[in-house]
Amino acid sequence: MGGRGRHVAALASIVAGVLALPAGARAVVVKDNLYGVKAMSASEAWAVGNFGSIYHTTDAGKTWEARASGTKVPLFAVDFADAEHGWIVGKSSTILATADGGKTWKPEKSAIPPEKHLFNLKVIDARTVWVVGDWGAIATTRDGGATWEDRSLGDDVVLYAVSFPDAQHGFIAGEFGTLLATADGGRSWRKQEVGTEKTLFGVSFSTPEKGWVVGIDGLILRTRDGGQTWEVQHGAMELGSVEELGFLETLKNPGLYDVRVVGQYGVVVGDTGNLMTTADGGETWTARELPEEERLVWLRGVSLLPGGSAGFAVGARGFRAAIDHGQIVLPANGRRAAAGP
């Protein structure tokens, strides 16, 4: 993998030994590192993380139940087509699927070799799913997971995120400023110039024209023309070392790992408790200050409902929060994250 795999190695280092929780549909204290989340309603969500952990809440995150995954590998992302059909991806090309609303999860035969990890996915409908990951890994199913087709790139580039604003238009983001786009439902993909070689960890298009990507050094870029041109909303396009940027400046611009924008609402999450929200359709972003004990926790995944007013975010050491009209509602006493300076 060499130097090109540095971000994979960094992500793998996050997969640290924390408390494994017993499987089964019963309430548990969540302490695992969580990597992905899917909001089903304002009160219901699924989250996945370390040691094959799958969690489900139906009370807006006040309590969570563990569900059996049948694996101990880290799971990185989860998505659903509807209340019954969902998929999860993870380490070693793992793909899990449910057709009974998450009561049971079963492995599917991946078209990607197990040497590659799958970092993200997008479920288009109950028959169509796209997954992305290590070394240019791209795969899709068009028959509900019965068979998977390998659509991987020839390039040694790690792909971290995928977004489809509709069934025909899709975008994949990854290492070295990579952004791929399709306008024909994935039959063909073309590379689009973003203007940076920085790694992009997250991508979200709310329409085929309006989209955002996030990445290292606090980078947030926005396009209004389907990725033809991009503008910087946060961070800088240029690559720079810690020595060039300054240590304090680097701390102020930690890596950003995920972004979701739906309607007027949006959320960005990243390293060192970095969490930003928008309530004006992504025109401006407001930093949200977490309680002191959670300010060094990395946040990895976010999901918003259609309309954008509700959702969930997850991260390290079992971090999870509900999202209510752009406000971050933390568990336990329902306290809200304050707007930063």
pLDDT band, residue 22 (cuts 50/70/90): very low
Using CB atoms within 10 Å of the CB of residue 250, give its burial: 0 to 12 exposed, 13 to 18 middle, 19+ buried. middle
**Residue pointed to by tokens 């940076």:** 196
pLDDT digits over 279-289, tens only? 999 999 999 98
Q: Is the pLDDT of residue 243 over 90?
A: no
Question: Can you give the pLDDT at residue 23?
Answer: 41
At 331 the pLDDT is 77
- CA–CA separation, 133 and 26 (whole Å): 32
d(CA 30, CA 19): 9
pLDDT in tens, 36-52: 999 999 999 999 999 99
Q: How far apart are the first and last CA of the chain?
A: 41
**DSSP assignment string, 125-191:** SSS-EEEEEGGG-EEEESSTTSS-EE---SS---EEEEE-SSSS-EEEEEGGGEEEEESSTTSS-EE
Tokens 């809200």 belong to 336
Per-residue pLDDT at 164: 98
Q: How many residues are given for the chain? A: 341
Residue 56 confidence (pLDDT) above 70? yes
Q: Choose the weakest-confidence range: 14-28, 220-234, 299-313.
A: 14-28
Confidence of residue 340 (pLDDT cuts 50, 70, 90): low
**pLDDT tens, position by position, 158-185:** 999 999 999 999 999 999 999 999 999 9
| 10: helix, strand or coil | helix
Average pLDDT over residues 66-86: 97
What mean pLDDT do residues 245-253 have? 52
Own/partner pairs, 99-105, CB within 8 angstroms, 24+ separation: 102/46, 102/54, 102/56, 102/67, 103/25, 103/67, 104/68, 105/54, 105/67, 105/68, 105/69, 105/70
Least confident of 22-31, 153-162, 257-266: 22-31
Closest CA to 98 of 68, 136, 140: 68
- Percent above pLDDT 90 for the chain: 76
What would the pLDDT profile of 101-110 be if each residue is shown by its tens digit? 999 999 999 9
